Copies of this chain bind each other. A is one copy, B any other.
Amino acid sequence: MKEQVELHKEEFLRELEDFLRIQSISSQEKHKDDVKKGAEWVAGALEKVGVENVEIIPTDGHPIVYGDWLHASDKPTVLVYGHYDVQPEDPVELWDTPPFEPVIRDGKIFARGATDDKGQLFIHIKALELLKKEYGELPVNVKFCIEGEEEIASPNLGPFINENTEKLACDAVLVSDTSFIDADHPAICTSLRGALALEVKVKTANSDLHSGQYGGGVPNAVHSLVNILDSLHDDKGRVAVDGFYEGVPEVTEQLKEEIAAIPFDEEKTKQTLGLSSLYGEEGFSFLEQTGIRPTLEINGVTGGYGGDGIKTIVPNEATGKISCRLVGDQDPQYVYEQIEKHIYAQKQAGADVELKQFIQAKPVALDSNHPMIQKAADAYEAVYGVRALFPKEGGSIPIVEVFARVLDAPVVLMGFGLPSENLHAPNEHFHTENFTKGIETVTHYLKSL
């Protein structure tokens, strides 16, 4: 298969460039038609390789693309998930070449969406093409469910999955939207943290007040906010909200060992990030803190005067943004309610508090011993000569938990990105070697099922 991939490599990259030219930014209303073009492009690409029953399914937001090929009787069914929408390109002035004019240099294809997720999604389409070319048919049944709203937290895909369990029924969900640990260490992520985000707004007087006239005698919205925000952690870096850790699994020795096996260079990390010291929950390593422990981070704070110099006011309004990463059986709604209770109990006299909830996603843990995942590790080994590791990702892909729960199928997070590929940032790129090796790995995997 390696030769086949090499033979078609340039042609495949030209097609990928077409895909990358589409400005399918799902968060921006002005790009609504471009997102639709993205859906049409995916539908066309699926039809071209022989996927059947291709549909562009409208939703309240951007469309979902479905297609299948179900002629491998007695063989398992794999549902491929991916997304054709991309992040905004801002700040555009920091791109070396325009974000929607793909360029290949130094073995990397540069464009918004190159690694997240157009390039990785396209691997699956091209793998099918080569398998069909080689054998005239596919070794397994395949379904595609490709969305255009991943970058805006998949508001319509969850309901779609729930309403189409028959249509989407499968033996495994195959997703390429994650990364290797580094260029030498392919990885199948087996754990994603859940997420929860909220805003807390503190209000006191009906306007800012003069700190000379009123300072010391009236509530200060910023004081009350920093008091609330600081109370969310204790001095050991633990979250100090009652009930926050309910459902967090004990860290077993086996898990500790699995994580300790993942390469991590603390000095290099500190140097790269420009930090004199790391900081986190006492008693856990960095990879444990960022992979398997829940966190609560303040993402931003504003209140009162923020310009140059000083303005001697008692501010009347202050806002904090908070997000949590959740693990194990932590329930986002329960955690939100506990934080809400904590904040109301903490607020100072004369301060009113308003809360607003944003994202909510359950954590997901996948069993690395499942044969569908072990076979994926075999596939990497066959192509890369190295068996995939099973890291715990600190990030969240909310829809993975829905797939796993609703379809009751293992989700195989067979990523081909690298952590250095600037996803969500200027100069996003994808290594063309992982594009071609990815096609090989996927064909190997599907044949092995």
- Which residues of A does B touch, CB under 8 Å? 193, 195, 197, 199, 204-206, 209-220, 222-223, 225-227, 229-231, 233, 273-281, 286-287, 289-290, 293-295, 297-306, 309-315, 318-319, 321, 323, 325, 348-352, 358-359, 393-396, 419, 424
| Listed residue (A209, A298, A315) with the most chain B CB atoms within 10 angstroms of its CB | A298
Give which listed residue, B204, B219, B293, B310, contacts A321 with CB less than 8 A: B310
Bound together, the chains give a CA A304 to CA B286 distance in angstroms of 22
Least CB separation from A424: chain B residue: B210
Shortest Cβ gap from A277 to chain B (Å): 4
A43 to B198 alpha-carbon distance, docked (Å)? 59
Q: How far is the CA of A355 from the CA of B229 in the complex (A)?
A: 22
* Residue numbers in B under 8 Å from A325 (CB-CB): 211-212, 215-216
CA distance A275 to B226 in the complex (A): 19
Are A304 and B312 in contact (CB-based, < 8 A)?
A: no
**Shortest Cβ distance from A290 into chain B, in angstroms?**
4
Say whether B280 contacts A218, CB under 8 Å: yes
Q: CB distance B358 to A298 under 8 Å?
A: no
A279 touches B312 (CB 8 A): no
- State in angstroms the CA–CA spacing of A302 and B304 once bound together: 9
Contact of A216 among B197, B204, B280, B321 (CB under 8 A): B280
List chain B residues, Cβ under 8 A from A315: 298-300
Q: How many copies does the complex hold?
A: 2
**Residue with the greatest number of chain B CB neighbours at <10 A, chosen from A206, A280, A299, A311:** A299
Contact A299–B321 (Cβ < 8 Å): no
* Docked complex Cα distance between A305 and B323 (Å): 12
**Max chain B Cβ within 10 angstroms of own Cβ: one of A297, A305, A350, A393:** A297
Chain B residues within an 8 Å CB radius of A358: 309-310
Contact of A279 among B273, B300, B321, B348 (CB under 8 A): B348
Among A302, A318, A321: residue with most chain B CB under 10 A = A321
- Contact between A305 and B321, CB atoms less than 8 A apart: yes
Contact status B218-A273, CB under 8 Å: yes
CB atoms of B323 and A277 under 8 A apart: no
Report the separation of the CA atoms of residues A199 and B298 in the bound assembly, to the nearest whole angstrom: 20
Q: Shortest Cβ distance from A175 into chain B, in angstroms?
A: 16
Given the contacts A197-B310, A301-B303, A310-B358, A279 and B350 also touching, CB distance less than 8 Å:
yes
Check B395–A213 contact: CB distance below 8 A.
yes
A319 to chain B: which residues have CB within 8 Å?
Answer: 306
Chain B residue nearest to A318 (CB atoms) is B301
Determine the chain B residues whose CB is within 8 A of the CB of A293 once the complex forms: 216
By beta carbon, the residue of chain B nearest A305 is B300
Query: What residue of chain B has the Cβ atom nearest to residue A270's Cβ?
Result: B350
- Which residues of chain B have C-beta atoms less than 8 A from A304's C-beta? 298-301, 321
CA–CA, A290 to B217, complex, Å? 6
Residues in B whose Cβ lies below 8 Å from that of A195:
212, 312
Q: A205-B274, A233-B223, A313-B299 are in contact. Are A279 and B193 (CB under 8 A)?
A: no
Query: In the bound complex, how far is the Cα of B331 from the Cα of A162, in angstroms?
Result: 68
Nearest residue (CB) in B for A423 is B210
Inter-chain contacts of A424 with B (CB < 8 A):
210
Q: How far is the CA of A315 from the CA of B300 in the complex (A)?
A: 7
Q: Distance in Å from the Cβ of A347 to the closest Cβ of chain B?
A: 11
Q: Judge whether A394 and B297 touch: CB under 8 Å.
A: no
12 contacts between A and B (CB under 8 A): A205-B273, A206-B274, A209-B273, A213-B419, A214-B290, A216-B289, A216-B297, A222-B299, A230-B231, A300-B313, A301-B318, A302-B302
Shortest A283–chain B CB gap in Å is: 13
Task: Report which of B209, B217, B226, B294 forms a contact with A280, defined as CB distance below 8 A.
Answer: B217
Contacts of A309 on B, CB cut-off 8 Å? 358
Bound state CA distance, A252 and B227, in angstroms? 32
Contacts of A222 on B, CB cut-off 8 Å? 229, 298-301
User: Are B218 and A193 within 8 A (Cβ)?
Assistant: no
The 8 closest A-B pairs by CB, nearest first: A212-B395, A300-B304, A206-B274, A216-B295, A300-B305, A230-B230, A277-B350, A219-B279
A275-B205, A290-B214, A350-B279 known; A220-B314 Cβ under 8 A: no
CB pair A275 B350 closer than 8 Å: yes
Chain B residues with CB under 8 Å of A419's CB are: 213
Do residues A212 and B299 form an inter-chain contact, with CB atoms below 8 A? no
